[in-house]
């Protein structure tokens, strides 16, 4: 989806790597900066990066603030949403 929004391949790779490596930390930073919104911020897409770690280590629930089933369902929903957005962007792209 990023390549459809940004035309430069190097920029897309850098943004993708930054999201992959820093996304979880940015999500945790936002949840600690706004503790009153923690229940809402727990559902952000960057928090979904923690699924692999949480499924292998149940102590991650204190980091993600979501149960395993909530995290799995949210990942599936985000996958469908981002796939749909990517498909719409691809249809509108001039080739």
Q: How does pLDDT run across 35-84, given as a tens digit for each residue? A: 999 999 999 999 999 898 899 987 888 888 999 999 999 999 999 999 99
* Per-residue pLDDT at 59: 82
* Per-residue pLDDT at 62: 83
pTM: 0.80
Task: Give which of 82, 72, 16 is closest to 47, Cα–Cα.
Answer: 72
* Per-residue pLDDT at 95: 63
Asked if 40 contacts 27 with a C-beta cutoff of 8 angstroms, the reply is no
């Amino acid at each position: 989806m990023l390549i459809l929004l940004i035309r430069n391949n190097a920029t897309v790779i850098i943004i993708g790597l930054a999201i992959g490596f820093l996304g979880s930390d940015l999500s945790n930073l936002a949840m600690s900066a706004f503790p009153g919104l923690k229940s809402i911020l727990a559902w952000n897409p960057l928090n979904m990066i923690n699924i692999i770690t949480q499924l292998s280590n149940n102590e991650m629930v204190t980091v993600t603030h979501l149960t395993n089933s909530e995290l799995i369902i949210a990942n599936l929903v985000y996958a469908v949403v981002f796939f749909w957005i990517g498909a719409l962007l691809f249809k509108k792209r001039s080739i």
